[in-house]
Amino acid sequence: MRTVSMEGELVSLRPLRLEDAGALGAVLRDGRVTRMLPPRVRRETGVDFVRRALDAHREGRGRAFAIRPRGAPTPIGQVRLFAWDRGERHAELGYWLRRKDWGRGYGTEAVRLACRYGFATMSLNRVEARVVAGNLRSAGALERVGFHREGLLRRSARLGRGWADEWMYGLLRGELRRGRSGPSGHRAPRLRRSET
């Protein structure tokens, strides 16, 4: 399968590589970023995380992308489609960014680009995301691109020493919203194809 690099208005995505482990490892060491992520990710080094994502790619279970602000060389986070079920044509979305770049629209655009890739290239019918209830930034990014909050998964996430509820989000083919209109808008992304 061809893997694409994608350019949006604010960020570009390209397939994750082992060289990204250092930059992503620094992000994973920040508890403010990992607080609401699954325990496995909270414990992982950058190398562990990237290796796991590359294994999933090789085995056809997912696709992972480094997020870079447009024109910047170094990744500031990642977005990936995992738990890819080719028969049912759905996959789950996961994403995180370094703290100092939150609130700039990068997360929303990365989610939009990854979903677009999922529908166009992976032929998905549905993308889903689980968000710890109360993670409003993450929920905001999903809702901005058209995800629906479909339900509440009770006590489904391990958080610290306890358990948290999660919001279940879903986005169907045809529901992905284009970028915002207006001066601060995100235009529809351009896809650039490259063999990997």
Residues that bind ligand COA (CB under 6 A): 33, 36-37, 95-97, 102-108, 131, 135-138, 140-141, 144
Nearest distance in Å: CB 37, ligand COA: 6
Dist CA 67 CA 97 (whole Å): 8
Comparing CA positions, the residue from 126, 123, 134, 193 lying closest to residue 159 is: 134
Nearest distance in Å: CB 4, ligand COA: 21
Degrees (nearest 5) of the Cα angle 51, 130, 120?
A: 70
39/140 with CB nearer ligand COA: 140
Six token digits for residue 55: 């294994």
DSSP-derived 3-state class of residue 89: coil
Nearest distance in Å: CB 87, ligand COA: 25
Dist CA 22 CA 144 (whole Å): 30
DSSP-derived 3-state class of residue 101: helix
- When CB distances to ligand COA are compared, the closest residue is 107
104/193 with CB nearer ligand COA: 104
110/193 with CB nearer ligand COA: 110
60/103 with CB nearer ligand COA: 103
